Structure 1
Amino acid sequence: MAVSFQHKRGTRAQIASAAAQSQLKVGEIYFMTDEQRPVIATASNAYQSIFSSTMSVSVSGKPANGEIVGCAIFPLACVLTAGNCSAQAITAATASTVFTIKNKTSGSTVGTITFAAGATLATISITSASIAANTMLYIEAPATADAALANIAFVVRA
């Protein structure tokens, strides 16, 4: 006899609505039908993807002007949030320096990674959160690179 399992399912909007009403059951798996991926309830009002897409990039030394410092294909449809992204440098920037996260498929800007003057930890801003399946994202250095900012690690995760 074959054993089969069926999980609760719904669109991102439906699962988010259930979370907003604290109707999720901790540890229960839900299938997000519009993104074709499973999520798990971490609280009655929160959930996270079981599978995530990640771009992890390190830059040894100083990036060149306008250099594409890293790229990755996100195989699953996803939503980026600033809380899932980070960037840190060993050598601080001398002036405010902004890297751009771009969507190669659409050509649009997805967000920015900003190192304030004297900072080694960046602030992340996401402006276009929905990413379609099989989309390539890349991080581009500013047109004029900072004189000091060097040895940087970036993580973009959905």
Structure 2
Amino acid sequence: MSQSLYEKCVLGGFVLLCFAVAGLGSLATTPAIDGWYATLSKPAWTPPNWVFGPVWSALYLSMAVAAWVVWRGHPWSTTRLPLFVFLGQLTLNLLWSIIFFGLHRPGLALLEILLLWGAIVATLLAFRRLSPLAAALLVPYLLWATFAVALNFAIWRMNM
């Protein structure tokens, strides 16, 4: 297999991984959107439901490309820790959907999303050491997660 084809396959693997997490998260999210989530009091600045799919799709694609850029540019001995941190935040990302939408626990999800936010920052910083481009690709994710923390907090407070 040529190096170019191998790199494309690895990129495809990162994309599949990120969208697999999205798909698993949607198993918890989708049933709750028109049910439990629809019954919650939400702040006026809550985006309409249709916004979340396209935003998350772009963010998952950006995450995959960022991980690939880190993987592609450096030896495994250098990328191992940053990529494990990346996998950790991806796991926390999935867990938030399960806690918030699947378990209907906005308070617990708030605690979890704060851990996720910290893991995103840790991933961004670990990636920045290896590739400013990879770090820049994670900035929209961090900004969206910051918004998600505020939204999760507001929903929790409004529904206590």
Fold equivalence (TM over 0.5): no
Shorter-chain TM-score: what band? under 0.3
Query: 1 or 2, which has the higher strand percentage?
Result: 1
- Scaled by the length of structure 2, the TM-score of the pair is 0.24
- Scaled by the length of structure 1, the TM-score of the pair is 0.24
Query: 1 or 2, which has the higher helix percentage?
Result: 2
Bigger Rg, which one: 1
